[in-house]
Amino acid sequence: MNKAIFYHAGCPVCVSAEQQVLEALDKNRFEIELVHLGEDPSKISAAEQAGVLSVPALLLDGQVFHINFGASLAAVKGEE
């Protein structure tokens, strides 16, 4: 089974994207993990290493898809 990780920070753009994108993914093909970076900042490093630059973002089999611009990872980390 392929892995899909949806990174977000809980903002309205992220929540909307989460609902739309996750409903569209075939749960028979993808193991889906939701990562709320605002609630679990320990996952920010893994997101950066995967190539996530902003949230919401979807990581499918190692490839990052930036869905819409809600917040940069720098903003999520409190650097902006």
* Gap between the Cα atoms of 76 and 57, Å rounded: 13
> Does 74 score more than 90 pLDDT?
no
Confidence at 52, pLDDT banded by 50, 70, 90: very high
Let me know if 54 is exposed, middle or buried by CB neighbors in 10 A (0-12, 13-18, 19+): buried
Confidence at 35, pLDDT banded by 50, 70, 90: very high
> Does 50 score more than 80 pLDDT?
yes
Q: CA gyration radius for the chain? A: 12
> Does 18 score more than 90 pLDDT?
no
- Tokens 């392929």 sit on residue: 2
Average pLDDT, integer, range 26-32: 92
Average pLDDT, integer, range 38-54: 94
